[in-house]
Each structure stands twice: as C-alpha cells, then as structure tokens.
C-alpha cells in the first residue's frame, strides 16, 4: 500500500484542477500527434469536456465544507459556486475560438486558457496567502501569453502592458502578504483576525497593500488604466475570458479577505476606502465608456463599473451581500459573454469586428444580431426584464439595509451615465441612414449557441432569482 499523505478533502480540492489542467495537456498532445495542426474543434472539444469534467467534480463538493491542505483551500459552498462561474465563463470563452484566431494557435490558446482557469479555480477556494498567490500567478502567467497571440501590434502592446502592470500589482499584493505575515505570524486567512494585530502598523500597511493589489486585479479606479488597453489588444476570446474569470477569482479572494480575515474593529478602516474606490469605479467606469470607439474598450470600461457594483454588494459584510454579489456576478457573466459572442459573430478570420463602426446600421444587415446585442446592452444598463435589473435591485436593497445608502446613490448615478453609453451603440445599430457595409460571413455555430443560452439565462434569472444559500461562512 502506498502511503498517502493526503486526506480525501485534499484530493477533492485538487482533482477539479487536475482535470482541467490535464485536459490542457491532452489538447497539446492531440495537437502534437496530428500531422499538421489539430482541428480547432478538436482542441475546443477537449478543452470544453475537461472544463465540464472539472466543473462537475467540483460541483459534487458543493454541500461539503472542509479545509484542504491545512486550511490552504476551502471546499464547498462559496468556493464551488465561484468555481462554477469560472468554469462556465471559460467554456463560453473557448466557444468563441470557433470564430476567431489563427488555426495553428488554437491548441496552445486553449491549453493556456485551461491552465489559467485552473489558477482562477484555485483562487476561488484559496484561504491562505500562499494559495492565493499561487492561484493568481497561475492565472496571470497564461494570460500574459494569451494576450499577445493576435496578429496585430496592439496585441503585443496588450501583452506587454498586462505583464508589466500585472506584475507590479502582484508585487503590491506580495509585499502586502509579507507584511501581513510579519504582523500576524501566520499565512492562513483565518489566523489574520487576531485582535492584537490592529495596533501593529505593519498590519495596516500590509492590509492596505494587499487590497491595492486586489483593486489592481479587479481594475477598480484608479487602478484601472491597464484594462481597456489590454482588452482591446487581446484576442476576443481572451478578452471575454479576462473580463469574467480574473474578476471572479479576485472577487473570491476579496470576499474571503473582507468577510473572514479582518478583525472586527479593523474592518471599517481597512474596507471603507475599498468601497469608496468601488463607488468611484461605478462613476468613472461609466464615464470612460462615453468616449470609446471600440467595443472591447467599451466593455472594459463597463466591466470596471459592473465590478464596482459587485464589490459594493459586499459592503457591510452581510450574508445577503455575498449572495447578491454572486447573483450579480453570474448575471454579469452571461450579459458580458453574450455581448462578446456577438462581437465574435461580426468578426472575420482576419479582423475582429470589435470596432463600434462595425455596428453601424447593423439592424439592416443582421436584424437578429442587432436585437440580441440591444438586449445585452440593455441588460448591462439594468433594464428590465433582465438579471441586470433584478441584480441592481438586490444590490441597492442590501446597500440600503447594510447602512451604505451612498453606495446605492452612486450606483444609481453610475447607471444613469452608463445608459447614455450603451444607448449610443444601440442608436448606431438602428441608424436609418447608415451606409450598407459588407457582411462578414462567419461560420460559428458555437457562438450562436452561447449567445442564445446567455439570452435565455439572463431572462430566466430575472424571474427565478435563485441565490445559493450555503455560501457562508467563507472561512471555516
């Protein structure tokens, strides 16, 4: 008998990651053994199957609540929900490769995306500073390469910018972690709540730097400047992936830190500034959308604001705050990925149709696409009957009841601004005087499917607003 140093919980924690990471290896092997390059659908299929496998296995531990690896990884509840969000958005992002990307790069892209997904899944359950950092770097390393994979100068710019700025952010995060460790003598989040730390200046400095690092990764204003440039340059599926997966992973870390790793009397002083920048993001992100001429940049700014809403939901540390943050995150995932699917459908092999000019007069050429794009933009703006509407109601009510009415007011103000930006695109699509443009003939059944699925789910979520109940406590 082989001496097994690991418990069942340990295995449960890593097997989903193994499945996803292993699928990436199989993708590479398939590419290797095929005479020239593997068919793009083979790579995509293996990747998606791997993600489904990982997601299903992770799902079996939903009701379980265990600590794996001595408190380094937490199973069940919140972690699983976030992992499913990550897995689903990775599936949707990979589906977009059906429309976009050079054939010889699909296998590598899918493999890198799977590894990044594994990193984000690790972050979703990470409950100690080292696991957090490990997950974050695994997530980021793949993305550095992925950003540079498109054949255009902006893609190189994107990769370099992301590498430099994200490394800087990781530096902040790591320095913060080191100081937190120095102040408390422990790396597990649960141990950071020692009441004595609040008198230690190192703790405040460490906590502050840690949160700055997270704000960077969440691209909250004023740490957001990287995200529009990176989004614009990266290949479309990668942009779609980054817009949800990195955010979901980082939100998981933030939620866990905010809810379970801060001594009660230090909580406000450390977190209120973070909620203030979330509030500023709602305004500034939506203002930033106004001047954009590229759909990916527009969605980047919209993401800045939307993440602000989600973070705002966590203000006050209430039980319902986490649940509504998850609800809005899932809604944001479907709205955003749906919008990206449409951009993919307007693209050709040579050129991505992400320029807003390519939406001009779309209603005449592709009425269904224009209608569905309108739907997603309305959903992002919070129009009924979409999950964006109900999500905003839920966040507003949790803000009001948790004593943060100013966040609710900022949310309203931000949404009012965003309306103009979203409707700018809608009005352009329905412009009667648009000149006819050539239609890209995209054969991307998967993008159509993901678009349809997103529409249905965004509506269904409005009328069946299920929020998972056993997400708390975040650290056990």
Partner 1 sequence: MSLVLIVLPILAGCALFFVPRSDRTVSRITGCVVAAITFFLPLVTGNDGAISAHWLSRPFTASLHFAWGGLSFWIVLLLALCTFCAILATNMPQTRTMIALLLMLEGTMMGLFTARDILAFALFWDLMLIPPFFALVGWGEHRDTAWRYLIYNFAGGLLLLLATAAFGVIYGSTDVIGTGHSIAGAWAPWIFAGFAIAFAVKTPLFPFHTWMPATYSDTPPPMVAVVSALQSKGGLYGFLVIGLPFLGSAMAQWKWIFIIASLVSLLYGAYIALVQTDAKRVVAYSSLSHLGLIVLGIFSFSGVAVQGVLVYIIAHGLFSAALFLILGYFEEREGTRSLARLGGLGALNPKLAGAFTIAALAALGLPGLAGFAGELVILSGVFQSGYFWPALIALIPIVLASAYMLRLLQDIINGPQVKDIPERTDLSWVEGLAVAPLLAALVVLGCYPHAVTATAAAFTAPLAAVQPQAAGTLALTKEQHDR
Partner 2 sequence: MTPYAPVAIFVAVAFAAALGFSLLPGVLAQRKPNPEKEQAYECGVEPTSSVAGRFPVKFYLIAMLFVVLDVEAASFYPWAVEMHALRVFGLIEMAVFVVVLAIGYAYVWKRKGFEWR
**Residue 403 binds partner 1 (CB under 8 A):** no
Shortest CA distance to 251 belongs to which of 62, 124, 391? 124
25 versus 45: smaller Cβ distance to partner 2: 25
**Residue 306 binds partner 1 (CB under 8 A):** no
Contact 451, 338 (CB under 8 A): yes
3 versus 438: smaller Cβ distance to partner 2: 3
63 versus 384: smaller Cβ distance to partner 1: 384
- The C-alpha angle 358, 163, 295, rounded to 5 degrees, equals 15
Q: Which residue in the set 432, 435, 436, 443 belongs to the binding site for partner 1 (CB under 8 A)?
A: 432
Q: Which stretch binds partner 2 (CB under 8 A): 25-33, 66-74, 137-145, 250-258?
A: 25-33
Contact 127, 475 (CB under 8 A): yes
User: Which listed option, partner 1, partner 2, none, makes contact with residue 403 (CB within 5 to 8 Å by class)?
Assistant: none
Shortest CA distance to 236 belongs to which of 331, 117, 346? 346
> How many angstroms separate the first and last alpha carbons of the chain?
32
**Residue 438 binds partner 2 (CB under 8 A):** no
- How far apart, in whole angstroms, are the C-alpha atoms of residue 342 and residue 285? 22
DSSP state letter for 246: I
**Residue 160 binds partner 2 (CB under 8 A):** no
27 versus 337: smaller Cβ distance to partner 2: 27
196 versus 290: smaller Cβ distance to partner 1: 290
* Residue ranges in 148-245 assigned as alpha helix (H): 153-184, 201-218, 226-233, 236-241
Contact 206, 185 (CB under 8 A): no
- How far apart, in whole angstroms, are the C-alpha atoms of residue 46 and residue 113? 12
Write the burial class of residue 1 (CB in 10 Å: 0-12 exposed, 13-18 middle, 19+ buried). exposed
104 versus 319: smaller Cβ distance to partner 2: 104
User: Which listed option, partner 1, partner 2, none, makes contact with residue 29 (CB within 5 to 8 Å by class)?
Assistant: partner 2
Q: Which residue in the set 63, 222, 420, 456 belongs to the binding site for partner 1 (CB under 8 A)?
A: 420
SS3 of residue 133 by DSSP: helix
Count of residues that bind partner 1 according to CB under 8 A: 35
Contact 161, 230 (CB under 8 A): yes
Q: Which stretch binds partner 1 (CB under 8 A): 181-189, 209-217, 309-317, 410-418?
A: 410-418
Beta-ladder partners of 281: none
Report in angstroms how near the CB of residue 320 gets to partner 1 at its nearest. 6
Q: Which stretch binds partner 2 (CB under 8 A): 22-30, 89-97, 226-234, 288-296?
A: 22-30
**Residue 164 binds partner 2 (CB under 8 A):** no
245 versus 410: smaller Cβ distance to partner 1: 410
**Residue 25 binds partner 2 (CB under 8 A):** yes
Q: Which residue in the set 13, 17, 28, 218 belongs to the binding site for partner 2 (CB under 8 A)?
A: 28
**Residue 181 binds partner 1 (CB under 8 A):** no
Q: Which stretch binds partner 1 (CB under 8 A): 19-27, 139-147, 158-166, 423-431?
A: 423-431
- How far apart, in whole angstroms, are the C-alpha atoms of residue 21 and residue 135? 13
- How far apart, in whole angstroms, are the C-alpha atoms of residue 185 and residue 131? 16
| 450-461 per-residue burial string, b: 16 or more CB within 10 A, e: under 16 | bbebbbebbbeb
**Residue 475 binds partner 2 (CB under 8 A):** no
Beta-ladder partners of 123: none
74 versus 426: smaller Cβ distance to partner 1: 426
Q: Which residues are at the interface with partner 2 (CB under 8 A)?
A: 2-5, 25, 28-29, 31-32
Using CB under 8 A, list all residues that contact partner 1: 320, 324, 367, 378, 381-385, 389, 392-394, 396-398, 400-401, 405, 408-409, 412, 415-416, 419-420, 423, 426-427, 430-432, 463, 465, 467
């Amino acid at each position: 008998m082989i001496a097994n140093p690991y418990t069942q919980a340990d295995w449960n924690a890593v097997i989903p990651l193994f499945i996803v990471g292993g699928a990436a290896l199989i993708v590479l092997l398939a590419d290797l053994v095929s005479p020239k390059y593997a068919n793009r659908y083979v790579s995509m299929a293996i990747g998606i199957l791997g993600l489904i496998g990982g997601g299903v296995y992770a799902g079996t531990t939903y009701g379980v609540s265990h600590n794996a690896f001595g408190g380094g990884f937490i199973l069940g509840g919140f972690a699983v929900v976030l992992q499913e969000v990550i897995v689903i958005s990775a599936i949707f992002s990979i589906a977009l490769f059906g429309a976009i990307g050079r054939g010889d790069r699909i296998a590598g892209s899918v493999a890198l995306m799977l590894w990044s997904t594994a990193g984000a899944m690790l972050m979703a359950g990470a409950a100690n500073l080292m696991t957090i950092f490990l997950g974050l770097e695994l997530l980021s390393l793949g993305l550095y390469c992925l950003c540079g994979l498109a054949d255009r100068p902006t893609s190189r710019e994107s990769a370099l910018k992301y590498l430099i700025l994200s490394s800087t952010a990781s530096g902040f995060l790591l320095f913060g972690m080191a100081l937190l460790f120095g102040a408390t003598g422990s790396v597990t989040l649960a141990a950071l709540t020692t009441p004595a730390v609040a008198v230690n200046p190192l703790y405040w400095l460490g906590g502050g730097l840690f949160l700055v690092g997270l704000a960077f990764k969440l691209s909250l204003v004023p740490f957001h400047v990287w995200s529009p440039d990176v989004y614009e340059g990266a290949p479309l599926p990668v942009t779609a992936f980054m817009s949800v997966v990195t955010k979901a992973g980082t939100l998981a870390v933030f939620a866990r830190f905010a809810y379970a790793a801060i001594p009660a009397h230090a909580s406000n002083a450390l977190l209120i500034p973070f909620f203030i920048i979330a509030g500023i993001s709602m305004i500034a992100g939506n203002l930033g959308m106004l001047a954009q001429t590229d759909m990916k940049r527009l969605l980047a700014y919209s993401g800045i604001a939307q993440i602000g809403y989600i973070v705002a939901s966590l203000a006050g540390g209430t039980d319902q705050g986490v649940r509504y943050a998850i609800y809005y995150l899932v809604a944001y995932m479907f709205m955003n990925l749906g919008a990206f699917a449409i951009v993919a459908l307007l693209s050709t092999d040579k050129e991505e149709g992400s320029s807003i000019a390519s939406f001009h007069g779309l209603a005449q050429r592709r009425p269904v696409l224009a209608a569905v794009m309108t739907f997603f933009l309305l959903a992002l703006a919070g129009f009924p009957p979409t999950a964006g509407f109900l999500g905003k109601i839920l966040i507003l009510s949790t803000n009001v009841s948790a004593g943060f009415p100013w966040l609710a007011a900022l949310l309203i103000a931000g949404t009012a601004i965003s309306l103009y930006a979203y409707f700018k695109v809608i009005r352009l699509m329905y412009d009667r005087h648009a000149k006819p443009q050539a239609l890209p003939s995209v054969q991307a059944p998967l993008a159509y499917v993901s678009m349809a699925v997103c529409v249905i789910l965004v509506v269904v979520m409005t009328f069946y607003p299920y929020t998972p109940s056993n997400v708390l406590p975040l650290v056990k």
